[in-house]
Structure 1
């Protein structure tokens, strides 16, 4: 009996444990932190052994295979020891993929991947396909492989999940865009992070497809030095293609298999330039899977967007409050500020992952009337924008941030929470941060 050790008792860890047990592995789950009660219950119900707040080496280093949760870095001591012993350390996606015959659509990128994943899922589901949604989102892929019988999966894949693949290949891969993020996990080398994202296509063959943003510099740079066997489907806001997706005269055109899909952009529910890209990527998948044009059109016009991503919360005294808590890096905030068309009070800050704020300068200059810094250490933000905006305020709670924002606005303004940073200094995660923002706005 092969021994499967799982590091991390969260969603992906527990899902992998269930699948491993079902497939006849001797399974052990080890978490250096605490395991949530609901997960403990699932493990107990499935007769799976676990430990928390420690890694017992003699129970781990005897593994035949190890599934490491995406949050655990390669430089963690236990992972280093496993690698020294040449024990394979893989991701949930790599472990689960061989156990399903389903076609997978893998979506990665620094920004836009959740929206693109949700929109692609919405398109496929609306067309009546038997489709699951997993990866970085919702219920774990491994658990769904154990318990469901889907024909397709739409998977949101982070660079950390892709670091742990060996043989996995999606039939259709999407790279939404690449900008510096999580560099602390990649020796502060941008090229390492880019290479990590492109692992999504490393096992693809001529029968597979890679959909990508043809306007993105980092992606273009990768193509100069690397090749993929997959058929390429580019999308762009500025270029046009014989095969690919583009915007021309306020229409989105997607041309695949010599069959053109055209839709006026004003009827697409998602707003903003970056969302046009997300729509082009998702529509390309729908076209490859030969979904009817009427279904695509209907789905694009009915899609509601993703919570915590440019989510309109409330309008109070003609001031629009917008929750973009999911913007955990500068590039995401760039999209948010770019889509603002009224004077904006911007709430920003948190745990900085090596941010370079210079690319936001022109947008801040043009659109932002006041900045509220919501973080434990705001020095970098103050240094960057102190001379550009007239009003700069530091707060250390979401309630204070929202109350202060209300004082600084006049009719016709907007308040935008788009932190450009991780949330762990004051919040559990970006969802917690977004929920607190919405609650504070509702309390005004």
Structure 2
């Protein structure tokens, strides 16, 4: 079985849905499982719904209506007959969403977040499955929440691998086209959970692992894995092949083409991963597999913007020792700050972190009781794998470098621009 993942950009409108059909015509669709994200910017639009819900905003009805309007237009562009059962199927999802918004009693933001944003994937896959059937491809629509079981850590749930493996290996039908949702799971009480933002790649890897799949293909609007983000670097080059280890390193440092959690399950069973273009599906793209060399061998650039550089020093000039560092990391974990770089001296400790949940002010109040805290917001962290002098110069030119760290294969540079 092959597992394909199509992200939001590939199904953002009716033309995108039609293109998925065209891709499947070219590469085959028997014994295939599609993992599909929400359409376009739907997750962002549902985040507005959540914001309005918690603020008890008069705009809530209108923000829900915007999501409805967007999907209804896609339906009208795809299906000539508004009596097609897809209209009722999509409407049923919106009825469920509105029922939840009017009856939910939980004040837990993360819980509400997962229940609401999940409708993006549920609706996109419903539309895609109906369109495939409409075009003569028989499909099996799968509610992924019945297959991937997790703990209750909403917005970043951990997979229960034993139960998930049992569900998937026993219940996925072969020799046909299966369509399911990325990013989602459910806990023991059957409440929806999510696997972290951009977690659809991970979903594909979970299914591939449990099905002993032949391969996983991530379909994107780029030719494959590039050595740099073309938005930030001119002359970015396609990497034809990379090893699991190199891909894990790139993902660890923040490369966005492959989700950090995606590679481990594939590596365990040596399932190859391909990153290909849904615009030119017959091009080779990038292959990720066991033990292959980076080809071509080039410096690889990763950019993480909107980072926070924090420097801690002891108030009494004493050493920052293991017990201090242990306490600091425990607090970072508690407040969900992701650490992307560490540098320490005898009396100071610096980290570059991502504060995606806006918890730093609360954390700072605690840290300031024991340490002198200096911080610089909105810094940019550049990571260069297989760096050379020319690559470093490319990054540093015209910027103020506030921290630099070098290891055998990797250079990290924090800049203020």
TM-score normalised by length of structure 2: 0.32
